[in-house]
Amino acid sequence: MSGPTGIALLGATGSIGETAQRVVSRHPDRFRFAAMTAHGNRPALEIAAARWKPSLVGLVNGGGAPLPAGWCHGRECLVQAATHPDAAIVLNAVVGAAGLEATLAAVSAGKRVALANKESLVVGGALMERAARASGGGQVVPVDSEHSALLQCLAGRVGGDGPGLLPVAGVRRFIITASGGPFRAWESERIRGARLEDALNHPTWSMGRKITVDSASLANKALEVIEAHVLFGVPYDRIEVVVHPQSIVHSMVEFEDGSVIAQLGVPSMELPVLYALGYPDRLEDHGVPRFDPVASSPLTFEPVRHDAFPTLGLGVAAGRRGGAAPAVFNAANEAAVSRFLDGSLSFGGIPGAIESALTRLGDRSGDDLPALLAADAAARILVQEFR
Ligand code: NDP
Ligand code: MG
């Protein structure tokens, strides 16, 4: 073997970025960090850079202060890191559509993208598929736990010429699990008035703020249904969501003969990160607590309460509509969540703001990069003005 594989870690200072550093620290013979980026958290990036000594360090928003020699700054450094010659794998752990161009550049450059940044696929699914085909080697392997579970259930069945980035045959149905978030059992009226600290209090996962709010509104599950469709090419009417409060069953695949395979494990993102880095191999690892079926009991399943969580239906409808609609859904959601985080929009205002943006912009059809970026920008402005 010719030394450890280089990884470009985009979003090194976030929840997934820190998880990836823990995982890689247990596998120094297999992996090293060739490039690392952050948005504005310079102290955390300095610590990571001193520890891993990557060839490229990028701070997107350095606030104008002078940077250490060899660091790059500005949005361009995401694409620079994503196409760095020392990196065979790009772990995109940036939050939001800001990660789109880096994913696209990495796929086009023939890299393996270990993708946490699901927003990339939601916004630019068709674009990414075209880029992967044209690159002859560019590949997306999901880090999202549900999609990692689907991929693991599908072992040996991925490949061929069908639609999707990882085309599959013989699938009758995907059953994607959702924890239900902190408001799973709340009355609809109470959910609409939920406070920030309630939304950030996730019952089973510890994550960045944006995805934690998305998990409370089930916008995250809408993004994941679209992500599953783009990744595996399975039609929307064969992708279902079920609420599973314990977050032990990470998703299930029903095959053509009616048999169902599920993937289980304790809720830790270390497992899907490791799987995406090593795919299709499984690497020996002892970093995550062992699964104990008795201690995890009981495992329960419930239907989604669509009336209480309208954002899920809005997002899946946008996915079915195609064109720029998923990009509008994503951008409107990002803008609405950021307003909820800064206190200028109620929790119940999130689906209202998204619906209004989709009504105005959802029938835009172009799916090339300029059209998607324009739809994204227009949706953000509408949500900013939403009252
Ligand atoms: P965090 O908010 O914890 O981290 C985000 C990272 O991206 C930070 O390193 C941040 O830098 C950087 N960043 C933020 N904005 C920008 C930008 N505009 N341009 C470049 N870099 C930026 O998020 P998470 O780690 O929770 O999530 C990352 C992605 O992974 C999301 O797409 C999320 O949906 C997905 N994901 C996360 C899971 C989790 O368990 N956390 C589970 C499944 C998916 P800085 O620190 O400097 O601000
Ligand atoms: Mg997930």
Element (H, E) at 72: strand 71-73
**What does the pLDDT read at residue 378?**
98
Q: Is the pLDDT confidence value at 246 over 80?
A: yes
What is the average per-residue pLDDT within 319-348?
Answer: 98
pLDDT band per the 50, 70, 90 thresholds, residue 115: very high
Given a cut of 70, is residue 341 above it in pLDDT? yes
> Would the pTM of this model clear 0.75, i.e. be above it?
yes
* For residue 1, pLDDT beyond 80: no
Q: In which band, very low, low, confident or very high, does the pLDDT at 161 lie, cut at 50, 70 and 90? A: confident
Percent of the chain with pLDDT over 70: 100
Q: 337: Cβ below 6 Å to ligand 1?
A: no
Nearest CA to ligand 1 atom 5: 14
CA of residue 15 to ligand 1 center, whole Å:
7
Q: Which one of the ligands is nearest to 210 CA?
A: 1
Smallest CA separation from ligand 1 atom 21, residue = 39
Please name the helix (run of DSSP H) or strand (run of DSSP E) that holds residue 214, with its range, or none.
helix 209-217
Could you give all domains of the chain from N- to C-terminal order, each with its CATH number? 5-142 (3.40.50.720), 144-180+218-304 (no CATH)
Q: What type of residue sits at position 148?
A: S
pLDDT in tens, 17-65: 999 999 999 999 999 999 999 999 999 999 999 999 999 999 999 888 8
Distance CA 109, CA 99 (A): 16
Closest CA to 364 of 352, 375, 356: 375
Q: For all residues of the chain together, what is the average pLDDT?
A: 97
Question: What is the rounded average pLDDT of the residues 327-346?
Answer: 98
Residue 382, pLDDT above cutoff 90? yes
pLDDT given at position 109: 98
Residue nearest to atom 23 of ligand 1 (CA): 208
pLDDT at 160: 86
Find the ligand nearest to 76 CA: 1
Cα distances from 12 to residues 22, 33, 93, in angstroms, run 11, 10, 7
Lateral strand order in the sheet of 112-115: 71-73, 56-59, 31-38, 5-10, 89-92, 112-115, 139-142
Ligand 1 atom with least separation from CA of 16: 25
- 5 — pLDDT class (breaks 50, 70, 90): very high
Give dist(CA 379, CA 320) in Å, integer.
18
Tens of pLDDT, residue by residue over 288-320, are 999 999 999 999 999 999 999 999 999 999 999
- The model's pLDDT over 199-216, given as tens digits with 9 standing for 90+, comes to 999 999 899 999 999 999
Q: Name which residue leads in pLDDT, 259 or 70.
A: 259
| Model confidence pLDDT, tens digit, residues 163-173 | 999 999 999 99
Cα 67 to ligand 1 centre (Å): 22
**Residue 209: predicted pLDDT:** 97
What's the confidence (pLDDT) of residue 64? 85
Q: For residue 174, how far is the Cα from the chain centroid? A: 18
